[in-house]
């Protein structure tokens, strides 16, 4: 009987094609700018909410606007979480579909290791959280808070420390984060949908079907006409979002569904026989600046405002929710990622790429402990306003800072080794006739 394990790649992470590395390089540069904006806005919120003008911050966050008969009278904070984050999750949907259609996730042989790493990076933090708060069942609702990874914040850390992270490791980190996002979406949809109202769901399905039909049948039109998507697809997307919101399902799920409707393949080739850019990749280029430069930073501004000064600070820092989330993100993420990766490599008989070691994977695992955006969203959904709510948010902020600092030390110390790997990859690329920008992803 043939050994099917030999069909798996002999090494991991897989470096990927020139076009894929180039796309990831561009994406990571955009995400690094967005991540820096995210950190700045979160810092402003934290300072403002703990200043003598704190009342004005909370008044702004809780200011309500919208049309009440359509159940759309929401606070500005809720609009940021339910509305603006739908843009972020739309891009998540695009990235997920791309990975399933033409990326690493389309082939089980290349997907098994990063998928296993992502699963381990979710299961172990959740278990650590449950173990720590186990004696208090009312706190168990926050088990999903430490399961998410914020790729924008993580990439911002890489940009700050100037890491020469090899192309293969960058692809591994992004694929892991994509799978992480997929699982987070499922968790939000299944465990954080309260008071389901089925009446609006048929309307959402019909609007989504129309949206998908137009995107599939008129992909060339939307590629050629830059503003057509804003004038035609966007209004339909807003209708889908409104119906989903009215149903009780968290409205960000609408963003993912809309992203999945966009075709990845263009169906055409250029003069060299290479497939041209598809609508999903084009939309990613168009809308990522809106997400990274506006939607996510504004959400961070309204979500990160937690009072950390005063008599309640000690209670917040020592609360079981705070301890559980910090331990789960800072320790659970790297333990889960490294352990599950080690098991999967043993099962598939894979080995680490030349020049890389388990310390590099541990650094990536620590970096994945930066939860931020989705973790803050899940914290919002897990607990009503109060001590547990503030403790969960403070824990996410604290854990993200600790994970960023620890990852900076680990990956920063490995920079010299990464530079040597990058130089060798550049030599290999030249030998294969591939442009030198392959390594830089330009």
> Which tens digits make up the pLDDT trace of 248-269?
888 888 999 999 999 988 767 6
Cβ of 157: how many Cβ atoms within 10 Å?
23
Q: Which helix (H) or strand (E) holds 223?
A: helix 219-224
- Highest-scoring range by mean pLDDT, 230-244, 377-391, 412-426: 230-244
Average pLDDT of the chain is 82
**In this model, does residue 24 exceed pLDDT 80?**
no
Of 295, 317, 306, 296, the closest CA to residue 393 belongs to: 306
Residue closest to 284 by CA, chosen among 93, 46, 63: 93
Residue 67's region, left for phi above 0, alpha for psi from -120 to 50, else beta, is beta
Who's near 287: CB < 8 A, 6+ residues apart? 87, 90, 91
Nearest to 189 by CA among 334, 114, 92: 92
The answer to whether 361 and 116 are in contact (CB under 8 A) is no
pLDDT at 242 over 50: yes
Residue 391 CB neighbours (<10 A): 27
| CB of 429 closer than 8 Å to CB of 439 | yes
Q: Which residues contact 170 (CB under 8 A, 6 or more apart)?
A: 21, 24, 25, 28, 441
For 84-107, the DSSP string reads IHHHHHHHHHHHHHHHHHTSGGGS
Q: How far apart (Å, rounded) are the C-alpha atoms in residues 359 and 353?
A: 13
117: its two tokens: 């790493």
Task: Give residue 179's pLDDT.
Answer: 85
Which CATH architecture fits 33-85+105-192+291-440? Up-down Bundle (1.20)
Report how far apart, in Å, the C-alpha atoms of 12 and of each of 5, 9, 24, 421 are. Answer: 14, 7, 17, 15
Mean per-residue pLDDT for 87-92? Answer: 90
Model pTM score:
0.83
Q: How far apart are CA 317 and CA 296, in angstroms?
A: 26
Least confident stretch, 46-50, 143-147, 184-188: 184-188
How far are the Cα atoms of 22, 37, 225 from residue 106, in angstroms, in the given order?
Answer: 19, 33, 30
- The pLDDT value recorded for residue 18 is 53
Q: What is the pLDDT of residues 127-176, one digit of tens each?
A: 999 999 987 888 898 999 998 888 777 777 776 665 567 777 777 887 88
Inter-CA distances, 362 with 117, 149, 291, 338, Å: 11, 15, 29, 6
The pair of structure tokens assigned to 408 is: 């900076």
Closest Cα partner for 400 from 42, 107, 16?
42
Q: Are 261 and 58 in contact (CB under 8 A)?
A: no
How far is the C-alpha of 63 from the C-alpha of 236, rounded, in Å?
27
Instruction: Compute how many other C-beta atoms are within 10 angstroms of the C-beta atom of residue 206.
Output: 13
């Amino acid at each position: 009987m043939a050994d099917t394990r030999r069909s798996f790649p002999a090494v991991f992470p897989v470096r990927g094609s020139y076009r894929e590395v180039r796309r990831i390089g561009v994406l990571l540069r955009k995400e690094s700018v967005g991540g820096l904006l995210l950190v700045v806005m979160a810092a402003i919120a934290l300072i403002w909410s703990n200043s003598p003008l704190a009342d004005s911050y909370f008044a702004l966050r809780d200011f309500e606007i919208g049309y009440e008969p359509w159940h759309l009278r929401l606070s500005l904070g809720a609009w940021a979480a339910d509305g603006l984050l739908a843009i972020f999750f739309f891009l998540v949907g695009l990235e997920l579909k791309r990975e399933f259609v033409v990326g690493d996730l389309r082939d089980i042989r290349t997907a098994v290791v990063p998928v296993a790493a992502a699963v381990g990076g979710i299961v172990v933090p959740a278990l650590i959280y449950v173990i720590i708060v186990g004696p208090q069942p009312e706190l168990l609702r926050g088990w999903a808070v430490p399961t998410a990874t914020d790729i924008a914040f993580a990439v911002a850390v890489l940009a700050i420390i100037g890491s020469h992270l090899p192309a293969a490791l960058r692809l591994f980190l992004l694929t892991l984060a994509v799978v992480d996002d997929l699982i987070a979406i499922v968790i939000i949809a299944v465990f954080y949908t309260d008071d389901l109202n089925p009446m609006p769901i048929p309307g959402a399905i019909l609007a989504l079907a129309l949206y998908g039909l137009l995107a599939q049948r008129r992909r060339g039109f939307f590629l050629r006409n830059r503003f057509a998507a804003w004038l035609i697809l966007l209004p339909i997307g807003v209708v889908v979002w409104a119906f989903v919101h009215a149903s009780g399902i968290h409205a960000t799920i609408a963003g993912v569904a809309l992203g999945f409707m966009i075709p990845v393949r263009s169906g055409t080739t250029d003069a060299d026989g290479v497939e041209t850019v598809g609508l999903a990749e084009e939309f990613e280029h168009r809308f990522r600046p809106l997400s990274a430069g506006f939607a996510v930073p504004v959400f961070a501004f309204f979500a990160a405002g937690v009072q950390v000064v005063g008599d309640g600070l000690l209670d917040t820092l020592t609360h079981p929710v705070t301890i559980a989330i910090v331990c789960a993100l800072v320790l659970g993420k790297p333990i889960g990622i490294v352990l599950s990766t080690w098991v999967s490599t043993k099962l598939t008989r894979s080995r680490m790429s030349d020049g890389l070691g388990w310390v590099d994977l541990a650094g990536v695992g620590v970096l994945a402990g930066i939860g931020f955006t989705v973790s803050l969203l899940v914290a919002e959904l897990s607990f009503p306003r109060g001590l547990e709510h503030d403790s969960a948010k403070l824990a996410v902020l604290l854990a993200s800072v600790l994970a960023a600092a620890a990852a900076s030390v680990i990956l920063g110390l490995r920079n010299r080794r990464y530079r040597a790997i990058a130089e060798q990859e550049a030599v290999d690329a030249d030998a294969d006739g591939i442009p030198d920008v392959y390594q830089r992803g330009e």
